[in-house]
Structure 1
Amino acid sequence: MPHDRIYTNRGIIWLFIILFIVIIVFMFKIQKNSTIQNDISICEPKSARKPHMSTWNPTAKIRKNAIAFLYNDQVQKLVPTISVLDRHFSDNMSADIIVFHTDYPITQNMQAIANVTKRQVIFYNVDDAFTSFPKGFDPYLEEPNWKKRGKWNYQHMCRFWFKLVLDIPLVLEYQYLMRLDDDSKILGAWNNIFDLMTKREAVYFGNIEEADSEKGLPGLMKLKTFIIEYKEKYRLIPKNPKRLVRAFDIENHIRLYNTNFDVIKIEFFRKPHIRHWTDAIDATYGIFKYRWGDHVLRYLTTALFATSTEVLLRTDFNLPYCHPC
């Protein structure tokens, strides 16, 4: 009898162990499936939970291009800019509108935007990306040389448009991505520049050319030193050497394309050798320490990796535009 009781107790113990393992595996699968579903789902704004991505005016059309905004305030302020797109931009309203945002806009503000366009509008939360820093950078010990809307807010914006936007899964669904700032506005009649870029095999459509200075941004010219060393280390031959020389032809200045409007070809800027350059820039912390702006970095990136025919400029096509408006 004692032996039978021992075997019975052991059986009960093993039964509990097996049931515990089955419950753990079952819970893990549920959690995993829930995570995957949350990552890929498109949630309607009426949902009670806070969605990662919300769509308005959805259509069944296959879309190749998008017009993107980044905003961390009351998104209804984008209404004046978005309201003219259907009328002035001649793409048959085929491009989606993406509003990258931090926090979560209230339903009425999202509805205000959806009401002024027939385009599909996607609200995409970028809290995690926008507030991240390069590996090894300590935002508490470092101080920026230039501040706007907070200690690091402007630098986060520069890093987002230069690097992080290219890692967003939604963006990878498109061929071209147009950026517009909240205080930018397309005026008059614009041709479909997405089609124009496709016909010209262009990878970048830039805005007006300006320049940043070492006087205004101490540490800016360290970028010139970095480029020289990068070229030598990787034996890089610039695709547009004239543009690269022009970038530094004003003493203690670096030329830039004003990026409150521009268009990038996603596939091109995600090429491995360009991503290597992008990651190398990010690892210097120059965006945060010296405010190396995305506009300067975009100019230099196209000088290094794009031929002269692959870059188009708004001013060459007399496209009316306003910033700030």
Structure 2
Amino acid sequence: MIIFVFTSSDKQFFWNEHTLCKPKPERISQISTWNPTANARKTAIAFLYSDQVQKLVPKISVLDIQFLDNLSADIVIFHTDYPAKAHMQAIASVTKRQVIFYNVDDAFTSFPKGFDPYLEEPNWMKRGKWNYQHMCRFWFKLIMDIPLVLEYKYVMRLDDDSKIIGAWDNIFDLMGKRNAVYFGNVEEADSENGLPGLMKLKTFTINYTESYQVIPKNPKRLIRAFDIPNHIRLYNTNFDVIKVDFFRRSEIRHWTDAVDATHGIFKYRWGDHVLRYLTTALFATPVEVLLRTDFNLPYCHPC
């Protein structure tokens, strides 16, 4: 069964692909815990999209064949605005998986406490003044507060310009067998020259570990994060997988909230990819992090 779920702070409803009718009002408050199948709420493949969702059809159409998980992972499409019914049906027609549409308008209209988006100017723009920064904040922090997400054990992220190619084994199972908390993509780096203010993140990270007596779980990775002058290393997060309960641990939430309070994501475009690298360096042991390149999983980006 494919369920289309729409939710925001003031409006929630869902569609059943067969009946295409609104549910009874009492079901609305139970959307985030509704479990129509035995496999539901274990794993999810998530997209964040602000355009016409039928454009995701080429990316989603390959998942049933090329991602070998017996169709157990839901597809969750976080979106702004509300997709047309025909566009939702276009997605439904190319997959046998449960598909959930989840409105995140509130995430793209909220800012950290004390940040004035009218007085500040971004040092990097894409698709609007603050849209890219909102995206970074969503994947780094806000996704961990979405009730639906809390029902999953693992969430895989795929960007709209990313695509699984070839056959992939069930990496959710692989993570479980190895007790991994993060499955990362290729390693790259951002630079101060391209993003003025980036290196303030290095200063903040060092001060944070000293102030809160944080002993990095992977000190070699933390050193490597800053080993190129005026650069910070990152995991390219157009694909990755998180173990949800790990990233909701109190010590990680404290770090996440502290980063958010600096306004660095908005002022200096501290990306979720750089922040993910630092988060795993601080709080995940070397064996708890797996990388796509170590398993020869074929992948296309951009595509």
The TM-score, its normalising length taken from structure 1, stands at 0.84
Distance (Å, rounded) in 1 between the aligned partners of 2:30 and 2:272? 25
Report deviation, 1:193: 0.1
Higher CA-based Rg: 1
Within the candidate set 50, 54, 58, 1:76 is matched to 54
* Cα separation, partners in 2 of 1:163 and 1:130, compared to 1, 3 Å: same
Distance (Å, rounded) in 2 between the aligned partners of 1:95 and 1:151? 34
Report deviation, 1:130: 2.4
Structural mapping, 1:156-175, within 5 Å: 156-175=134-153
Partner of 1:6: none
Report deviation, 1:309: 0.1
Q: Secondary structure at the match of 1:118?
A: coil
Letter of the structure 1 residue corresponding to residue 221 of structure 2: R
Letter of the structure 2 residue corresponding to residue 237 of structure 1: I
Letter of the structure 2 residue corresponding to residue 256 of structure 1: L
Contact residue 257 and residue 298 of structure 1 kept, 8 A: yes
* Cα separation, partners in 2 of 1:249 and 1:80, compared to 1, 3 Å: same
RMSD: 2.3
Contact residue 14 and residue 22 of structure 2 kept, 8 A: no
Partner of 1:104: 82
- Deviations along 1:188-211, whole A, 9 cap, x unmatched? 010000000000000000000000
Within the candidate set 260, 268, 274, 1:290 is matched to 268
Kindly indicate whether residue 89 of structure 2 is the aligned counterpart of residue 115 of structure 1.
Answer: no
Letter of the structure 2 residue corresponding to residue 280 of structure 1: A
Partner of 2:37: 60
Listed as ranges, the gaps of 5+ residues in structure 2 are: 1-7
Contact residue 15 and residue 22 of structure 2 kept, 8 A: no
Partner of 2:3: none
Contact residue 43 and residue 155 of structure 2 kept, 8 A: yes
Structure 1 or 2: larger strand share?
2
Report deviation, 1:54: 9.0
Contact residue 52 and residue 124 of structure 1 kept, 8 A: no
* Cα separation, partners in 2 of 1:129 and 1:100, compared to 1, 3 Å: same
Partner of 1:304: 282
Q: Secondary structure at the match of 1:255?
A: strand
- Deviations along 1:191-249, whole A, 9 cap, x unmatched? 00000000000000000000000000000000000011101100110000000000001
Distance (Å, rounded) in 2 between the aligned partners of 1:287 and 1:260? 17
Q: Secondary structure at the match of 1:244?
A: helix
Kindly indicate whether residue 250 of structure 2 is the aligned counterpart of residue 278 of structure 1.
Answer: no
Distance (Å, rounded) in 1 between the aligned partners of 2:232 and 2:279? 13
Kindly indicate whether residue 208 of structure 2 is the aligned counterpart of residue 237 of structure 1.
Answer: no
Q: Secondary structure at the match of 1:97?
A: strand
The TM-score, its normalising length taken from structure 2, stands at 0.90
Q: Aligned residue pairs: how many?
A: 287
Q: Secondary structure at the match of 1:138?
A: coil
Letter of the structure 1 residue corresponding to residue 37 of structure 2: A
Percent sequence identity over aligned pairs:
77
Contact residue 43 and residue 54 of structure 1 kept, 8 A: no
Distance (Å, rounded) in 2 between the aligned partners of 1:36 and 1:145? 30
Listed as ranges, the gaps of 5+ residues in structure 1 are: 1-34
Partner of 2:206: 228
Report deviation, 1:61: 2.5
